[in-house]
Structure 1
């Protein structure tokens, strides 16, 4: 169950800074002088759309910022406002309440909301693979989920913990056999020795560790200093970043359904941009407010691409087997307090490939590479503190 990560060659912070300058120019360039990004009639004719993210601006969401900055939303006749969340907004709640038109959220979290009464549909499964890790020290003896028993296991909570409990259930481990430690969105508790195995995302907290100097050597930690368990390699793996829409509006509002396809077309092109130019994508997220340093942000863009590409059936198309595995894990997961994530199968309306398949097919006809079959990640050199 060990998941090894290739060690890191070099893309410079200077190169990323240059990319920031270029993307800033591109984003501010007029689009009425021969470009096709905006309708000649002007922005007044664009359909206003609100997209709710599940966290702050960062390269985890690079495709959406690329679609905005490169004019892909405008090309589809949409004026999109991207709304971040620092934990103060629950994306699926904002969508269910009618505050936004679409939302980015993890599948298991929304399954819980659907069982509680939310009427939402997964219209595009952007992340095809789980990016969650559990990280321990190399000499800890923690090599797999089987080794969690009796250990202090870190988790952020807020619905991020369900992969842990699903993986434990698959191994026949009772949730009460571990001590769940509430973990901040950093690795400080782990580095301080308060946590035996800390939760981390491949694109964020894992990089935070590799950006940290070992106090004994003064050199940055390397992957050999840690034991890394990838939930993608376990039965607890669950689908993560997906795009959600209002089910009732999809069924009753033809204009909303049509807009959904246009929205997805632009999103696909945004993620293709992020795939083909990770440096520019990272620069865009910094430009849009990310507080991460350039090497960290570039790492995030690269690792996010790995969760999306290649997409055998087309980016965003929901794989039935992966969906069923996520539902099975959600049904099996029981936390340390005995609570269940869900207790019954979600309704058939919980996901639909209708809109994403239409968007994928139309772009494929236009020559857009919607599968990324030849995708190869770049090499990124992390620096101290991600700068």
Structure 2
């Protein structure tokens, strides 16, 4: 009898152990499932490094707006915006893998492409040139012809080719008919009458003159677009090897960027504030001024804002022709799909 009781207790113990083990196993499965779902929901973001051409300013406001509003995160991207500077060359940064995507001027990119660098333009953010030659009205310089015999400032370093084109288009010899001098990154030489005309970007240096107390009526300006010698500036480019492995990632980046640029152009005052909060190197007023002027380059009057980032091959061709004609390129540029393509932009903007 005692033996039967012992067997009964043993059987009962085995049953309890089995029930507990089953419950533990079930709970373990639920926990594992929950952890997997949480990890998927969190979603590990893809890292992207964007190299700017210059210091943080409203020239690049679309990217800062997209980051501030979470557009990159919405596309599964952790964006790192790398500031530029006088000693930083975006083409080198992207070519060497320090950055994934870069911002540069089209003429500069063409130069590196002509040297065999595997870089591809993939979007055109600025649709117009921002380059001006500015003079005081008292100088009497109202047209390119009036530059004859004057001192004219240029930053050189690749920024001089529109000036060369302007001069030749107006039958002026850059070496004999006037004196081109090195210009610093302030407007002091013009303010102090050390030069008669200065290079200026519509969104930056021209504003510095106004902030210095000059009125628009006291200034004359020669606009490269009006003179027919404009060369395209800010574009996006990538390493050809990188894009071949990261097409989907770039399309997501571009979609978020275009959204940021659209918002920035629609409300440049808010965009300028976002940039100012990122880096307070200049005043809020100047960042807002820059933002308003940059918006005119990204989405000029009459331009369809749905086409932000669109590559106008006619404008690209003009830039390439001028670059070759005035010595930046030793031979005509290769404008095949290997060096410039709209296919990623088309995917990013597809409905």
TM-score range, shorter chain: 0.7 to 0.9
Q: Which ranges in structure 1 are unaligned for 5 or more consecutive residues?
A: 1-38, 213-219, 334-339, 366-387
3-state SS in 1 of match to 2:146 = helix
8 Å contact from structure 2 (residues 190, 196) kept in 1: yes
**Residue 268 of structure 2 corresponds to residue 281 of structure 1:** no
Partner residue in 1 for 2:104: 105
Aligned equivalents of 2:227, 2:191: Cα separation in 1:
25
In structure 1, the residue matched to 2:252 is 262
Instruction: Please give the residue correspondences for 1:15-94 in structure 2 after superposition, counting only pairs within 5 Å.
Output: 41-42=41-42, 45-94=44-93
Offset, 1:78: 0.9
Which 10-residue stretch deviates more, 156-165 or 95-104? 156-165
Structure 1 residue aligned with 2:331: 344
Q: In structure 2, do the counterparts of structure 1 residues 249 and 203 end up closer, same or farther at CA, with 3 Å as the change threshold?
A: same
Q: C-alpha deviations, 1:58-79, integer Å up to 9, x for none?
A: 1111100011111111111111
Q: Hey, what does 2:12 align to over in structure 1? A: none
Partner of 1:359: 348
Of 309, 312, 328, which aligns to 1:319?
Answer: 312
Equivalent position SS for 2:307: coil
Stretches of structure 2 lacking an aligned partner (at least 5 in a row): 1-38
Q: In proportion to residue count, which structure has more helix?
A: 2
Quick one: distance in 2 between partners of 1:105 and 1:318? 14
Following superposition, which runs of at least 4 residues in structure 1 exceed 3 angstroms of deviation?
39-43, 310-313
Measured in 1, the distance between the counterparts of 2:166 and 2:256 equals: 35
1:142 Cα deviation from its structure 2 partner: 1.7
The 5 Å alignment of 1:1-387 reads 41-42=41-42, 45-177=44-176, 178-212=178-212, 220-250=213-243, 252-253=244-245, 256-310=246-300, 311-312=303-304, 314-333=307-326, 340-347=327-334, 348=336, 349-361=338-350, 365=351
CA distance in structure 2 between the partners assigned to 1:42 and 1:148 by the alignment: 61
C-alpha spacing 1:155/1:47, structure 2 compared with 1 (3 Å): same
Distance (Å, rounded) in 2 between the aligned partners of 1:260 and 1:171: 42
Is contact 1:169–1:332 with CA below 8 Å preserved after alignment? no
Partner-residue secondary structure (3-state), 1:121: strand
The change in CA–CA distance for 1:272 and 1:126 in structure 2 (over 3 A counts) is same
Deviation of 1:239 after TM superposition, in Å, equals 0.4
- Counterparts of 1:169 and 1:329, CA distance in 2: 11
| 1:15-46 Cα shifts (integer Å, max 9, x gaps) | xxxxxxxxxxxxxxxxxxxxxxxx97436x11
Within 2, Cα distance between the matches of 1:152 and 1:92? Answer: 32
Over 3 Å counting, the alpha-carbon distance change for 1:169 and 1:343 in structure 2 is farther
- Structure 1 SS opposite 2:47: strand
> Cα–Cα, structure 1 residues 40 and 223, in superposed 2: closer, same or farther, change >3 Å?
farther
The SS at the match of 1:342 is coil
Contact 1:235–1:329 at 8 Å: present in 2 too? Answer: no
TM-score, L = length of structure 2: 0.84
**Alignment partner, residue 26 of structure 2:** none
What number of residue pairs does the alignment pair up? 307
Deviations 1:300-355 (A, max 9, x none): 0000000011433711111111111111111122xxxxxx2002222212211111
Does the Cα contact within 8 Å between 2:324 and 2:333 map onto a contact in 1? no
- Quote the Cα distance in structure 2 between the aligned partners of 1:245 and 1:127: 17
Give the CA deviation at 1:184: 1.2
Equivalent-residue separation in structure 2 for 1:321 and 1:147 (angstroms): 30
SS in 2 for 1:235: coil
**Counterpart of 1:105 in 2: which secondary structure?**
strand
Q: Answer whether contact 1:315 1:360 (CA < 8 A) is retained.
A: no
CA–CA distance in structure 1, aligned partners of residues 163 and 97 of structure 2: 31
